[in-house]
Amino acid sequence: MARALLVVDVQNDFTEGGALAVDGGDAVASGVSRLLAERAGDYAVIVASRDWHDAEGDNSGHFSAEPDYVDTWPVHCVADTEGAAYDPLLDTAAITHHVRKGQGRPAYSMFEGTADDGATVAEILAAHGIVEADVVGIATDHCVRASALDAVSHGVHVRILTDLVAGVGEDSSAAALAELAHAGAELSESGA
């Protein structure tokens, strides 16, 4: 059975020192790089997403000068800026598909984005016969959660590699993992 690795938003603005830094973000980037160095061949496709927001405007209410950190956020991951780039600790050589999400509107799940050729993540997975996916990245309680739930809803058996995710809050991350497990996702460590 074909397996994918879904790498969610391992970007400078979400790792230490970024506009919306998550504690442990750099460790996730390094850990995913170790996983890819050891086991990239285990995956038929490796899809990585990035938030990719417009520089002008509020991206349909996503950016706010007074963010609530639920539906509105400070400016982050503006297209073609250093903040939107992959964390330098993430080795991207093995990534087969790069997906951008946002682009003028709020987007949490990588399934809301498109690859350079316009393909959606659902289309990429279907084209490669993917029935299983490992999910890693940032943030456990936001974009990892949304991406993994969408993968489950597309009939993919999802395994969250819990040592390769980092969340905004401890309680909200634990709640997200519990929700994912309830939805049918497996929680496991990578061993990388």
- Domains of the chain, start order: 6-126+155-165 (3.40.50.850)
Secondary structure (DSSP) of the chain:
-EEEEEEE--BGGGSTTSTT--TTHHHHHHHHHHHHHHHGGG-SEEEEEEEEB-SSS-TTTTB-SS--SSS-B-S--BTTSGGGSBPTTS--TT--EEEEEESSS---SGGG-EETTS--HHHHHHHTTEEEEEEEEE-IIIIIHHHHHHHHHTT-EEEEEEEEEE-S-HHHHHHHHHHHHHTT-EEE----
pLDDT-based confidence at 191, cuts 50/70/90?
confident
pLDDT tens-digit readout, 134-159: 999 999 999 999 999 999 999 999 99
Kindly state the average pLDDT of the residues 173-192.
95
What are 23-47's pLDDT values in tens digits? 999 999 999 999 999 999 999 999 9
User: For position 49, what pLDDT does the model report?
Assistant: 98
pLDDT of residue 95: 98
Residue 168 has a pLDDT of: 94
pLDDT of residue 75: 94
Known catalytic residues? Answer: 9, 101, 143
93: pLDDT strictly greater than 90: yes
Confidence (pLDDT) at 1: 72
pLDDT per position as a tens digit, 42-70: 999 999 999 999 999 999 999 999 999 88
